[in-house]
Amino acid sequence: MIYFNNVSKVYNKDSVVLNDVTLTITSGEFVSIVGHSGAGKTTLVKMILADDVPDEGTVFFESINIFKLKDNELTKLRRRIGVVFQDFKLLSNKTAYENIAFAMEAVGKTNQEIESDVPHVLELVDLGDKMFRFPSQMSGGEQQRLAIARAIINQPELIIADEPTGNLDAINTYEIVQILKKINDLGTTVILTTHNRGVVDSINKRVITMEKGKIIRDDNNGKYKI
């Protein structure tokens, strides 16, 4: 599904962010990418979205060379990817329902589809009773579950979760991980970046460890080892 072919990114001679990274992620996998701050995790996932460009090498989504896409083609590709951020990035002036409806409107979904799908996805993330609450009226864990609902509403093939539990307590962290596992069980590929050892160990799926821009370990059914 995703293939990094000898990808390097250098900001200056003292800042090698990615160093000759070759990596394959197949459809349906759950992959955790771990490493200390500055290891290259976020740059790696940014390149899947073409939010960052390699100095050398190529990134493919299926057979598509991401960096040869025109703007309209890149927009279509990004619609196949859902992203969950550490800081939620919700629209504060919209309710839970409206946050998700907005994501559907952006891709041209009809009012009928919105009315049908939004309650369903809110139930999936255990927010069915919070439909008309604003983000400020929700806990951090509820806001992150809403962000996940927004990310999956248009049925993407890939979910990128970049430190999604970084601001959450242990209970909410557990709930977010369970939802991501549920999404993966339904067939969606999940890429998770995290510093959280407990999260990675509880998932018991493939773990890629990065250090100074390089992949130093790639274990199926791995654990957090740094």
CA 23/CA 21 separation, integer angstroms: 6
Give the pLDDT score at 55.
95
Confidence of residue 225 (pLDDT cuts 50, 70, 90): confident
Angle between helical axes of 111-124 and 96-105 (0-180°, round to 10): 130
Q: Are 159 and 180 contacting, i.e. CB atoms less than 8 angstroms apart?
A: yes
pLDDT over 90 (residue 14): no
The 10s digit of each residue's pLDDT in 55-72 is: 999 999 999 999 999 999
The 10s digit of each residue's pLDDT in 150-170 is: 999 999 999 999 999 988 999
CATH superfamily for domain 2-219: P-loop containing nucleotide triphosphate hydrolases (3.40.50.300)
Confidence of residue 222 (pLDDT cuts 50, 70, 90): confident
The structural domains of the chain, with segments of one domain joined by +, span 2-219
Give the pLDDT score at 12.
79
